[in-house]
């Protein structure tokens, strides 16, 4: 039991010694900083804090990583150390080149799979480098199919439950040269991936592992596995779009894992290889499916009313139950449009604000709130305006 606990401890320490841990966190911070700069350019104010991206990178994955640990304790997925190196190299290349949208497990696993199929270890003139190549061709394709299926399922869950939170409003120029609103989702998630290596001195118990990949002793590794996501939406509300996107990715991952299980019980690695190929093609297909380039803009300037593009956290508008995508048709009894400006209508009553709101279901409701001297001009709503592009939308 002491050996078991010591091996677990070494695996945890390996997570904090791995450079990908810190590169991913720094990458999340840089994403947050670039987002804040863009907010100030477009709206003259910061919408969300720069550190929110770091929090989103770490916190959601802690519970998921713990769940994967417990699951893999029974499943016993085993990959050689050389395969984890190939996974880390692929993820690192996508990170440093800024290709966040392709930082999906389905694409990261391309390099380990090709290495397992085609790479032949060679003498690199260094004992450490030579040992890092050991076992690269002996990895089970069934184990890789199960692993990529589970990771893509986790990716889909994160997209559906986390990517739609605190989306970043943006102003972009349409193909017709008009200014339209959009929402950008950029996420870097740092998943602590608990894996078994087919070396070490921890013997399998009578009830573990559930699957046998031909190894009797194991070492534990907690691998930092970054998952990235980037999407710009102009044609729909961000939250429903993210849930749909996430469900599709999760179903793709679940189907891949099921095919991996079938290949295990039938002892047929061709099924596993087919599953790996399908998940790569399927993930690319989902990326293309949700591009939405030729669809009309949802956040645009309208003849009557103003569509809410964003709401500043902690602002008076944030306390009024307003939602992104709703349309404000009247302010203090004045209909917006036809020369009536939002700010002008708001000044009609400096101490009180009453809004007529058309919700996303097309139903009218009223929201009202008392305003104070220092907030009557800062309701906290972000809109789309056509009158400028360089000096874009200020927060009202």
Question: What pLDDT is stored for residue 303 in this prediction?
Answer: 73
Question: What pLDDT is stored for residue 120 in this prediction?
Answer: 84
Find the range with the poorest average confidence among 125-134, 151-160, 333-342, 380-389.
380-389
Separation of alpha carbons 184 and 266, rounded Å: 44
Q: How confident is the model at residue 9 (pLDDT cuts 50, 70, 90)?
A: confident
Question: What pLDDT is stored for residue 289 in this prediction?
Answer: 85
SS3 state of residue 327 = strand
- 127-136, 140-149, 319-328 — most confident range: 140-149
Mean pLDDT of 198-204: 53
Question: What pLDDT is stored for residue 390 in this prediction?
Answer: 37
Assess contact for 86 and 136: CB atoms under 8 A.
yes
Residue 121, pLDDT above cutoff 80: yes
Mean pLDDT of 132-154: 90
Assess contact for 299 and 182: CB atoms under 8 A.
yes
Question: What pLDDT is stored for residue 384 in this prediction?
Answer: 82
Selected residue with higher pLDDT from 95 and 292 = 95
pLDDT tens figures, 164-188: 888 889 888 777 778 888 899 999 9
pTM (predicted TM-score): 0.87
Selected residue with higher pLDDT from 250 and 219 = 250
H helices present in the chain, as ranges: 2-17, 19-43, 52-75, 81-96, 105-108, 110-118, 127-132, 141-158, 238-265, 269-289, 342-346
Selected residue with higher pLDDT from 361 and 304 = 361
Residue 4, pLDDT above cutoff 50: yes
Selected residue with higher pLDDT from 156 and 370 = 156
Exposure string over 338-375, b if 16+ CB within 10 A, otherwise e: eeeebeebbeeeeeebebbbbeeeeeeeebeeebeeee
């Amino acid at each position: 039991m002491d050996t078991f606990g010591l091996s677990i401890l070494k695996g945890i320490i390996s997570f904090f010694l791995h450079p990908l841990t810190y590169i991913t966190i720094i990458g999340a911070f840089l994403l947050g900083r670039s987002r804040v700069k863009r907010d100030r350019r477009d709206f003259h104010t910061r919408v969300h804090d720069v550190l929110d991206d770091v929090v989103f990178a770490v916190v959601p994955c802690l519970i998921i990583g713990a769940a994967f640990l417990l699951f893999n304790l029974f499943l016993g997925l085993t990959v050689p150390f050389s395969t984890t190196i190939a996974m880390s190299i692929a993820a690192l290349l996508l990170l440093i080149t800024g290709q966040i949208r392709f930082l999906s497990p389905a694409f990261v696993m391309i390099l380990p799979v090709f290495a397992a199929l085609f790479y032949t270890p060679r003498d690199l003139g260094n004992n450490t480098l030579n040992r890092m190549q050991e076992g690269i061709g002996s990895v089970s394709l069934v184990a890789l199919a199960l692993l990529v299926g589970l990771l893509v399922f986790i990716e889909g869950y994160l997209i559906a439950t986390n990517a739609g939170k605190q989306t970043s409003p943006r102003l972009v120029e349409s193909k017709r040269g008009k200014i339209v609103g959009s929402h950008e989702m950029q996420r870097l998630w740092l998943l602590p991936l608990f894996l078994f290596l087919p070396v070490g001195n921890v013997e399998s118990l009578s009830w573990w592992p559930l699957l046998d990949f031909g190894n009797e002793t194991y070492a534990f590794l907690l691998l930092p596995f970054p998952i990235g996501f980037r999407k710009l939406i102009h044609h729909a509300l961000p939250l429903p779009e993210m849930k749909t996107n996430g469900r599709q990715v999760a179903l793709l991952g679940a189907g891949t894992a099921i095919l991996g299980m079938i290949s295990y019980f039938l002892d047929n690695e061709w099924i596993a290889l087919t599953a790996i190929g399908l998940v790569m093609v399927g993930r690319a297909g989902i990326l293309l499916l949700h591009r939405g380039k030729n669809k009309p803009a949802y956040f645009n300037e309208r003849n009557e009313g103003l569509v809410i593009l964003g709401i500043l956290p902690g602002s008076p508008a944030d306390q009024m139950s307003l939602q992104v995508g709703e349309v404000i048709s009247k302010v203090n009894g004045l209909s917006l449009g036809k020369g009536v400006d939002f700010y002008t209508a708001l000044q009609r009553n400096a101490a009180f604000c009453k809004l007529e709101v058309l919700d996303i279901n097309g139903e009218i409701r009223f929201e009202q709130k008392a305003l104070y001297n220092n907030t009557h001009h800062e309701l906290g709503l972000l809109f789309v305006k056509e009158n400028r592009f360089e000096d874009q939308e200020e927060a009202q």
